[in-house]
């Protein structure tokens, strides 16, 4: 089905061409239908958003060097944390792994030529760009001061900032996300080559599949909610504002009905990356493949049932609160299963600490802390105390930044040779992972302590007793910024100075390593033979090409 | 040493009947998590060292699947987290079941301050409560969401506009504790901080920090005409207290600057311009009318925004306010 909409390339393409060199000029990128180029554009876009959001974060942390006004005013501070959160969530972390890495890798890993709907894929990217422009306009005009959660009635009747502009931005970004999800679902269902059964699919694909289901089912709810919010603000329709007969708690239900599943949009793809990295760099098949695959699906489904745990103190009914608490604990199990399985994969492996693996081990450490602190928040009596404090801030940074961002960088280093055809500098890559790991803990661990000591979040000023934790956190943040910058530099330098990358530098058995680096325009010259994606014995090191190659003597899997 | 312990102790002191249970759940979860965390990271490091790659040596094959182990590590943590849930749930039910004879205080939250109203009619900006007595707060918001949070009591509840929200607690120790707004409420959210003053019930329990008993405090608070210890204070000073209680300064400055309403400074005994009525003398009757019937005369250049204080402001209090305004020249 996709083959008939593939870009016309065959007249010009030569065998030594790859997707980067197959056509030239800026227009060949802007109107490309190639999933790889769209993935690269998404990568550039989301990375730009990340560095912008990160810059705002450093300004926020700088303000907290003292508890009294330092660099900014009340209003500026409120705008900084809102834009930091909104940019990181809507422009970076939700699209990052699926739309940037997923777009590039999913079809190649599947053994397909492209995604099912390449035009929709390009459209998704442009929707992202338009959404980003709305956000930037809000930023440049009045800013935005509602928090990324847009809680009513503040957002509809009080805030003086451009809430409507920003909500339209988020609305459009929602469609971008839905398009990506829809495309991935259809691609995985219809475009698997012969032999690629569901249970021969790499776990990264399972996780993207589970993510896509959430994207398609949950995002429309956010869209509608934001439209209602805009309608209330512009036309005075009473939906959420009690002065107009509305209910502010209703807004929170709608918002978290999307935004809780959305945290799994953020973490599931990251877990998928980690499954690939741990298996490859331990040179061992992943342990408990089916449990990991099913746990992705379980998380996707259970993730829809726990939104109320963001509202334990909101005034929702006590019975509902209790039910949400017990359901919340049920989602912690599939996450724990994955962690145990990753560990078991390393057992009796042959572990090499290449940069992607260093990031994967960081992920294990940080995500475990993030997940375990979720237990304190899921338990009602403790959440009442911890809710809306820095404890929650630390919790979600451990899962979103320590988890998703770290896995994203690990994945980026892993697939970088495939995407660009260049090897990065291993030593500096490892150093970057070490700095990021140490600085991350320095930034966010003190926040757990100050949170449980009662430091509320979204505070511009704070009482003197919290200063020591804030100062530690600020120092950590600047170090962390440096570590991330270093990682970016290592990757960018490799484009100019890096060795040429072989087809399979790591010895992984998934299909994307069977085509050239970078892949040719149509991914595979001939349809690849599909084997067990984690059978590390099927590839061996070949000193002539300095690459791992498929062993000729491995019989094709039959069933 | 105690100072060191205090700085790493994850909690502020325990000063309500909930606090010790909440902390116990926290520590239980903490040690359980610490166990799993140390085990996970420990195995991770051990495997990285033990099974590091040695050139030219392929790993020995090991099973990639073991149903018994996999089921075990799915089910056992399941029971453990159910235990945490159960404990958290019972603690929560206590927090949300106020005893029937609790002392009630009305709380009004607005951007960006707290106001506490007592059954005696007293109004305060800090929350004053008796020690070892169940207290119930009946909370309302005048504008957006707020959340009343007292870390030392380990409790918090959002204040939602358009409905009453309730919470209760029983303070165990005399003292002064922080009270925060925990739900983002706009510009000065971080300044929406006040104190909880827990008073002794009897004089023997007084501390250096809080000397007055709750009743003694109340006697004064309920009567702005009296000073600490119940002594009669000058009328001007009483007027100042009253202006503070009713938060008149939100709209009226005392330094001559223009706010929502005209300044108190330097107007008494002078002619002032009234919209549509020409010049009027600002005297005792003018002030009285402005408090009880604020829309009767609107100063030129201002909007009729002042609420009436009829029924809230007693006659003797109005006398005091007049004396106070007279004094600001
Ligand atoms: C073991 C799994 C997890 C559990 C049990 C858990 C539990 C919770 C609970 C109960 C809250 C509400 C806390 C409060 O506001 O009082 C919360 C907040 C949050 N969690 Fe998790 N969580 C888990 C994993 C994750 C993951 C994987 C992510 C994202 C990748 C995540 C992101 C967040 C975010 C963003 C918030 C706060 C949102 C906000 O208020 O702005 N959590 N978590
Ligand atoms: Cu507030």
Q: Report yes or no on B50 lying in a domain.
A: no
Taking the CA of residue A147 as reference, the ligand 1 atom at the shortest distance is: 41
Same domain, B110 and B214: yes
Residues lining ligand 1, CB < 6 A? A 149, 263, 266-267, 309-310, 328, 331-332, 335, 371, 374-375, 377-378, 383, 387, 392, 395-396, 399-400, 403-404
Residue B60 lies in a domain: no
Tens-digit pLDDT profile for residues B270-305? 888 898 888 888 999 999 999 999 988 898 888 888
How far is the C-alpha of A388 from the C-alpha of A148, rounded, in Å? 14
Contact A310, B85 (CB under 8 A): no
- pLDDT over 50 (residue B223): yes
State the average pLDDT over residues B69-82.
Answer: 91
Residues B122 and B187 in one domain: yes
- Any idea what the Cα angle at residue B124 is, between residues B119 and B125, rounded to 5°? 140
Residue B260 is encoded by which pair of tokens? Answer: 């929502």
CATH of residue B280:
1.10.760.10
Helix A103-110 × helix A35-63 angle, to 10°: 140
Q: What is the mean pLDDT of chain A?
A: 91
Residues whose CB falls within 8 Å of the CB of residue A434, separated by 6 or more in sequence, listed in order: A358
The pLDDT score that the predictor gives to residue B255 is: 87
pLDDT band at residue B44 under the 50/70/90 scheme: very high
Q: Residue range B201-211: average pLDDT?
A: 90
Contact A454, B153 (CB under 8 A): no
Let me know whether B107 and B215 are in one domain. Answer: yes
What tokens does B218 get?
């109340």
β-strand partners of B157: B148
Shortest CB distance from A453 goes to which of B11, B69, B144? B11
Least CB–CB distance from B151: residue in A290, A336, A454:
A454
Q: What's the pLDDT tens digit per position in A169-211?
A: 999 999 999 999 999 999 999 999 888 999 999 999 999 999 9
Q: What is the pLDDT of residue B224?
A: 79
CA angle A220, A226, A229 (to 5 degrees): 145
Q: Extract the tokens encoding A449.
A: 């302590």
Provide mean pLDDT across the span A524-533. Answer: 83
Interface contact B180, partner A, CB < 8 A: yes
pLDDT of residue A52: 94
Q: Is residue B51 part of a domain?
A: no
Does B276 map to a domain? yes
Is the bond into B112 cis (omega within 30 degrees of 0)?
yes
Please state the domain count of chain B. 3
DSSP assignment, residue A552?
T
Q: Give burial (CB, 10 Å; 0-12/13-18/19+) of B306.
A: middle
Residue A297: pLDDT above 90?
yes
With 70 as the cut, is the pLDDT of residue A445 above it? yes
Contact state of B70 with A453 under an 8 Å Cβ cutoff: no
What is the reported pLDDT for B6?
63
Q: What is the DSSP letter of B261?
A: S
Q: Is A373 on the interface with B (CB under 8 A)?
A: yes
Task: Residue B44: name the closest of A344, A332, A436, A433 by CA.
Answer: A344
pLDDT of residue A487: 97
B28 and B108, same domain (yes or no): no
The 10s digit of each residue's pLDDT in A106-151 is: 999 998 989 999 999 999 999 999 999 998 898 888 889 999 999 9
CA-based nearest residue to A266, from A168, A399, A139, A367: A399
- What burial class does residue B132 get, using C-beta atoms within 10 Å of its C-beta: 0-12 exposed, 13-18 middle, 19+ buried? middle
pLDDT given at position A7: 44
Which residue range forms the structural domain that includes residue B237?
233-327
User: What is the structure's pLDDT at A557?
Assistant: 47
Q: What is the pLDDT of residues B155-166, one digit of tens each?
A: 999 999 999 999
Calculate the alpha carbon distances from A309 to A203, A297, A316, A352, B196 in Å: 29, 21, 10, 40, 28
Structural tokens at position A547: 């690459």
B228 in a structural domain: no
Where is the domain boundary, B173, B203, B222? B222
Using DSSP bridges, classify how beta strands B193-199 and B127-130 pair: parallel, antiparallel or unpaired.
parallel
Report the share of chain A in percent with pLDDT over 90: 79
Q: In this predicted structure, what is the pLDDT of residue B173?
A: 93
B126 with B208, same domain: the answer is: yes
Ligand 1 atom with least separation from CA of A266: 30
Which residues have a Cβ under 8 Å from the Cβ of B294 and sit 6 or more positions away? B304, B306, B307, B308
Q: What is the pLDDT of residue A48?
A: 95
Cβ atoms < 10 Å from Cβ of A504: 25
Separation between Cα atoms, residue A272 and residue A105, nearest integer Å:
12
| CA nearest neighbour of B64 among A549, A504, A532, A277 | A532
Residue B259 pLDDT level (bands cut at 50, 70, 90): confident
Q: Which residue has the higher pLDDT, B234 or A483?
A: A483
Average pLDDT over residues A29-49: 94
List the single range of A45-54, A358-367, A448-457, B121-130 with lowest mean pLDDT. Answer: B121-130
Q: B180 and B196 share a domain? A: yes
Looking at residue A6, what is its pLDDT? 42
- Residue B62 forms part of a structural domain: no
Instruction: Work out the average pLDDT over A16-31.
Output: 86
Please give the pLDDT value at position B167. Answer: 95
**Domain harbouring B128, CATH code:** 2.60.40.420
Which pLDDT score, from 0 to 100, does residue B5 have?
A: 61
Confidence tier at B7 by pLDDT (50, 70, 90): low
Cα B169 from Cα A236, distance rounded (Å): 39
Rounded-to-integer distance, Cα B197 and Cα A555, Å: 79
Query: What's chain B's Rg over C-alpha atoms?
Result: 29
Please identify every residue whose CB atom is under 5 Å from ligand 2, which is an ion. Answer: B 146, 181, 185, 192
Query: What is the average pLDDT across B13-33?
Result: 93
Same domain? For B111 and B83 the reply is no
Q: Give the β-pairing of B123-124 and B127-130.
A: unpaired
Residues 6+ apart with CB under 8 A from A105: A39, A204, A415, A418, A512
Kindly tell me the sign of the dihedral angle through the C-alpha atoms of B262, B267, B269, B272.
negative
Fold exhibited by the domain A27-550? Cytochrome C Oxidase; Chain A (1.20.210)
Of A81, A313, A399, A457, the one to substitute when testing ligand 1's pocket (max ligand atoms within 8 A of C-beta) is A399
Distance CA B283, CA B171 (A): 48
């Amino acid at each position: 089905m996709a083959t008939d909409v593939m870009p016309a390339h065959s007249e010009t393409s030569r065998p030594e061409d790859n997707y980067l060199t197959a056509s030239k000029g800026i227009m060949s990128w802007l109107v490309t239908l190639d999933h790889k180029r769209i993935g690269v554009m998404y990568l550039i876009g989301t990375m730009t958003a990340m560095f912008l959001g990160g810059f705002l974060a450093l300004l926020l942390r700088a303000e907290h060097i003292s508890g009294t006004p330092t660099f900014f005013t009340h209003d500026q501070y409120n705008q900084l944390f809102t834009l930091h959160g909104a940019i990181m969530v809507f422009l970076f972390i939700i699209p990052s792994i699926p739309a940037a890495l997923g777009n590039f890798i999913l079809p190649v890993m599947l053994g397909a030529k492209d995604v099912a709907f390449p035009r929709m894929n390009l459209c998704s990217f442009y929707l992202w760009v338009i959404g980003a422009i709305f956000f930037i306009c809000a930023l440049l005009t009045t800013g935005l001061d509602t928090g990324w959660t847009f809680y009513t009635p503040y957002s509809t009747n009080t805030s003086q900032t451009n809430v409507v502009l920003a909500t339209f931005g988020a609305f459009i970004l929602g469609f971008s996300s839905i398009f990506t999800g829809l495309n991935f679902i259809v691609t995985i269902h219809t475009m698997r080559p012969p032999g690629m059964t569901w249970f021969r699919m790499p776990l990264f694909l399972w996780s993207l599949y589970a993510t896509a289901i959430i994207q398609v089912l949950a995002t429309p709810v956010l869209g509608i909610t934001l439209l209602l919010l805009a309608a209330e603000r512009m036309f005075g329709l009473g939906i959420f504002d009690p002065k107009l007969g509305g209910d502010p708690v209703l807004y929170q239900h709608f918002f978290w009905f999307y935004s809780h599943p959305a945290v799994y949009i953020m973490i599931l793809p990251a877990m998928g990356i980690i499954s690939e990295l741990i298996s490859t760099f331990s040179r061992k098949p992943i342990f408990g493949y089916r449990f990991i695959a099913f746990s992705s699906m379980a998380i996707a489904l259970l993730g829809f049932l726990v939104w109320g745990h963001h509202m334990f103190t909101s005034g929702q009914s006590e019975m509902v609160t209790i039910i949400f608490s017990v359901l919340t604990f049920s989602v912690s199990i599939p996450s724990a299963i994955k962690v145990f399985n990753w560990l078991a994969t390393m057992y009796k492996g042959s572990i090499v600490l290449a940069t992607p693996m260093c990031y994967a081990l960081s992920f294990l450490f940080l995500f475990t802390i993030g997940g375990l602190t979720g237990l304190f928040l899921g338990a009602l009596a403790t959440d009442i105390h911890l809710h809306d404090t820095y404890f929650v801030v630390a919790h979600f940074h451990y899962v979103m930044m320590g988890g998703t961002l770290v896995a994203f960088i690990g994945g980026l280093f892993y697939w970088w040779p495939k995407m660009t055809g260049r090897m990065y500098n291993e030593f500096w890559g490892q150093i970057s992972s070490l700095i990021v790991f140490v600085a991350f803990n320095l930034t966010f661990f003190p926040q757990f302590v100050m949170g449980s000591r009662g430091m509320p979040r979204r505070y511009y000023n704070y009482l003197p007793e919290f200063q020591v934790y804030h100062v530690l956190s600020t120092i950590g943040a600047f170090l962390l910024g440096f570590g991330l910058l270093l990682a970016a530099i290592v990757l960018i330098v490799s484009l100019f100075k890096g060795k040429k990358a072989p087809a399979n530098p790591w010895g992984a058995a998934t299909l994307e390593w069977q085509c050239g680096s970078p892949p040719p325009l149509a991914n595979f010259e001939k349809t690849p033979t599909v084997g067990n994606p984690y059978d590390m014995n099927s590839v061996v090191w070949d000193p002539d090409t300095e690459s791992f190659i498929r062993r000729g003597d491995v019989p094709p899997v039959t069933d | 040493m105690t100072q060191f312990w205090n700085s790493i102790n994850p909690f502020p002191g325990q000063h309500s009947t909930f606090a010790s249970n909440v902390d116990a759940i926290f520590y239980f979860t903490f040690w359980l998590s610490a166990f799993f965390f140390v085990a996970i990271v420990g195995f991770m490091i051990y495997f990285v060292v033990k099974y590091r790659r040695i050139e030219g040596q392929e790993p020995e094959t090991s099973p990639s699947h073991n149903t018994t182990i996999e089921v075990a590590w799915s089910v056992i943590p399941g029971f453990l987290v159910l235990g945490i849930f159960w404990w958290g749930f019972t603690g929560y039910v206590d927090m949300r079941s106020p005893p029937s004879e609790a002392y009630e205080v009305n709380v009004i939250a607005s951007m960006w301050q707290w106001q506490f109203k007592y059954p005696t009619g007293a109004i305060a900006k800090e929350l004053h409560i008796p020690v070892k007595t169940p207290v119930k707060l009946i909370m309302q918001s005048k504008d957006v969401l707020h959340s009343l949070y007292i870390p030392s009591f380990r409790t918090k509840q959002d204040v939602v506009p358009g409905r009453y929200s309730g919470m209760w607690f029983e303070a165990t120790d005399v003292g002064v504790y922080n009270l925060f707004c925990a739900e983002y409420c706009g510009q000065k959210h971080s300044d929406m901080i006040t104190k909880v003053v827990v008073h002794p019930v009897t004089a023997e329990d007084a501390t250096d920090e809080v000397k007055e008993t709750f009743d003694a405090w109340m006697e004064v608070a309920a009567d702005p005409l009296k000073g600490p210890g119940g002594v009669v204070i000058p009328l001007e000073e009483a007027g100042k207290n009253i202006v503070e209680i009713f938060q008149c300064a939100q709209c009226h400055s005392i330094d001559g600057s223009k706010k929502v309403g005209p300044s108190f400074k330097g107007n008494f005994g002078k002619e002032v311009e009234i919209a549509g009525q020409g010049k009027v003398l600002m005297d005792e009757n003018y002030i009285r009318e402005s408090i009880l019937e604020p829309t009767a005369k609107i100063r030129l250049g201002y909007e009729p925004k002042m609420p009436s204080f009829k029924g809230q402001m007693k006659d003797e209090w109005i006398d005091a306010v007049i004396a106070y305004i007279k004094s600001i020249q």
